[in-house]
Amino acid sequence: MKFETAHHHEPEFEFLDYRLEGSIAVVTIRRPEVLNALSTALLQELAEIPELINENPEVRALVLTGEGKAFVAGADIPEIAALSDVFVAREFSLLGQDVFGAIAASPVPTIAAINGYALGGGLELALACDLRVASKNAKLGLPEVGLGLIPGFGGTQRLPRIVGVGRALDLILTGRHVGAEEAYQMGLVNRLADDALAGALELAEQIVRNGPVAMALAKEAVFRGFDVSLPEGLEIEADLFGMVSRTADFKEGTSAFLEKRKPEFKGE
């Protein structure tokens, strides 16, 4: 498995700030006047991020955050309120699912830096990331039932897989917000930090030292194995273990260990 090298362009976005910090791509959602609510236009910009990362082999991790006092406070309510047709509403749900699904499927590790409110579609975006780092003042929840709605961007599926069915139903059926500490206790967030972005970058720095092909295949093993039986999952793991043993990164990693030096992974 090799990360393709392609000519990458510096993107221009209206609602996102995309920058590189070394080998970490940092994407900041920028609609602070509406607490970074997810409009169709913003979702369409987010859809370009996985492609950008795939065409830049230097990127080894992605950190997503929001500007101001919210990560993302939900979907755009005026836009949702205007959904009157079953087909149009279904398409809106599928758009969000597709965008978040592409982020979840990214071969690089993805981290949500939850710096405030992560509600509704915002929490669903964070759930699509591999890891979640929350600041102490973060508030998380899926309040859709209070609007007579259900979560539509993957929340009913990803949340129970992360925290279990009972805890997921508690959040989904009450629509309540949980603070960072409770979210951490239930396994909804992986780490707490005084500053979510700084904490997420620190976590990303730990991650990017490792072999990128190995990390992509480890992610694949976890996600493909999740919905199959244990024997089938172990078969997937063995297949991917076989694949990774043929990579240049594997030879570099083992040689570096034996030679007591730091490995220099190339993603090949």
Q: Which residues are catalytic?
A: 124, 144
Contact status, residue 177 vs residue 190, Cβ threshold 8 Å: no
